[in-house]
Amino acid sequence: MKRIGVITSGGDAPGTNACVRTIARRGFADGVEVFGIFDSWDGLLKGEVRKLERQDVAGIVQRAGTILRSARSTLFLKQGDAKIAIDALTRQGLEGVVAIGGNGSQTAASLLAQAGFPVVGVPKTIDNDLVGTDFSVGFFTAAEVATQALDNLRATAEAHSRVMIVETMGRDSGWIAVEAGIAGGADLVLIPEHEFTLDAICERLRTRHEVHKRNYSIVIIAEGAMDKDKKLDPRRGTKDLNARPRLGGVGTMLALEIERRLGYNARCTTLGYLQRCAAPIAVDRVLATRLSDFAFDLLLSGKSGLMAALAGRDLEAVPLELVAGKTKLVTDDYFRLAEIFG
């Protein structure tokens, strides 16, 4: 291969630029022209494709966001969309593509590979919910942001005798909430994978405050968490481009319930996009570089339909068909750590 494309799609994540930089610099070193596909798959259809030069990727390893920009595209939602994408890639003279993204991106890459176009994926999502890889690019930075929030909010919680609630991202899995909950010593960790009741939550808080005589509590909750009786329902009634319910406000709902039931002073801080826009920490920069370097090697060696993945400290090639449409949930053992040591 002498001409390949690199695309970033889905929600942005810290470390994405490090991925793009790695693919481009491998191209410079190996005599392969690397073309950036801007604005995700929709940009491809509009011809937003340009050869990446050295100045394009200079000084971007530490930057958040993506120089290629991103979007949540509706391409690949209908039968025949893969052929449309392949036609667009072929018109640009591209012989293969590296797809950097999360669940939707790797599903699109899988469909592209099944339709016969060479593609290798790089796992990039702050949610860390891609199966087949231990960790995805962006997760560690997002977890660090959430941990710092817990550390900082502890002071104001204690000063004002409050229950401070931190709401993190995590639609179907609570990896960020659990990771930060363990690191930041949260008193309660609430995630989509583990059912809970408001009665049980309030009883735990009452015990902490009235039996153990603590004047504050720290709670971390993933945006997709919902109580057994669905009194805390984060679904807002509207849907995104992929027909998924938009989420938001579960932390504030919980704060109101705590105030109503216990009379405690409760406040919520929603981290939102702060988890996406932070400069990548060292571990994400290195992970992005390793995975992208491996993906480049896979593609140039004629492999396709694979995702570069981390297994322990080693790199593995995982079939995209085993990744597409699946969600990696927080394991019981990992959640147990948050329950005991949070």
Is there a common fold for 3-138+280-322 and 142-276? yes
The pLDDT of residue 89: 98
Contact call for residues 214 and 204 (beta carbons, < 8 A): no
Average pLDDT of the segment spanning 262-291: 98
Tokens of 221: 């909750």
Task: Give the largest Cα separation in the chain, rounded.
Answer: 70
> Would you say residue 28 has pLDDT above 80?
yes
**Quick one: which H or E segment has residue 222?**
strand 217-222
Average pLDDT of the residues in 283-299: 99
How sure is the predictor about 240, in pLDDT bands with cuts at 50, 70 and 90? low
Residue 219's φ and ψ, nearest 5 degrees, are -120, 135
Per-residue pLDDT at 23: 99
What pLDDT, on a 0 to 100 scale, did the predictor assign at position 234?
76
Q: Which fold has domain 142-276?
A: Rossmann fold (3.40.50)
Q: Determine contact, residues 66/59, Cβ cutoff 8 Å.
A: no
- pLDDT band for 49, please (50, 70, 90 cuts): very high
Q: Which residue has the tokens 């570089």?
A: 289
Mean pLDDT of all residues in 200-227: 97
Predicted confidence at residue 73, as pLDDT, reads 80
* 44-74 core/surface letters (b: 16 or more CB in 10 A; e: else): bbeeebeebeeebbeebbebbbbbbbbbbbe
Planar angle of CA 84, 115, 318, nearest 5 degrees = 125
What is the rounded average pLDDT of the residues 206-224?
Answer: 97
> What is the C-alpha separation between 179 and 293, in angstroms, rounded?
27
Q: Vertex 67, ends 15 and 80: CA angle to 5°?
A: 95
141 neighbors 15 (Cβ within 8 angstroms): yes
The whole-number pLDDT of residue 40 equals 95
- Is 3-138+280-322 CATH 3.40.50.450? yes
In 271-329, DSSP assigns E strands to: 306-311, 314-319
Distance CA 92, CA 35 (A): 9
Mean of pLDDT values over 141-156: 98
126 has a pLDDT exceeding 90: yes
| Whether residue 293 lies in the annotated active site | no
Rounded distance, CA 190 to CA 19, Å?
32
83-117 residue pLDDT tens? 999 999 999 999 999 999 999 999 999 999 999 99
Q: Which of 15, 336, 331 is nearest to 181 (CA)?
A: 336
Domain extents in the chain: 3-138+280-322, 142-276
> Residue type for 68, please?
L
DSSP string, 147-173: HHHHHHHHHHHHHTTEEEEEEE--SS-
For range 313-338, the mean pLDDT? 97
- pLDDT at residue 243 is higher than 80: no
Confidence of residue 237 (pLDDT cuts 50, 70, 90): low
Please answer whether residues 293 and 285 qualify as being in contact, where contact means their C-beta atoms are separated by less than 8 angstroms.
no
Residue 306 contacts residue 320 (beta carbons within 8 Å): yes
The DSSP 8-state label assigned to residue 217 in this structure reads E
Candidate list 12, 39, 127, 129, residue with the active-site label? 127
pLDDT of the residue at 36: 99
How many Cα atoms occupy the beta-carbon half-sphere of 43 within 13 Å? 20
pLDDT band at residue 75, thresholds of 50, 70 and 90?
confident
pTM: 0.94
pLDDT digits (tens, 9 = 90+) for 300-312: 999 999 999 999 9
Residue 118 to residue 298: CA distance in whole angstroms: 10
Helix (H) or strand (E) holding 30: helix 16-30
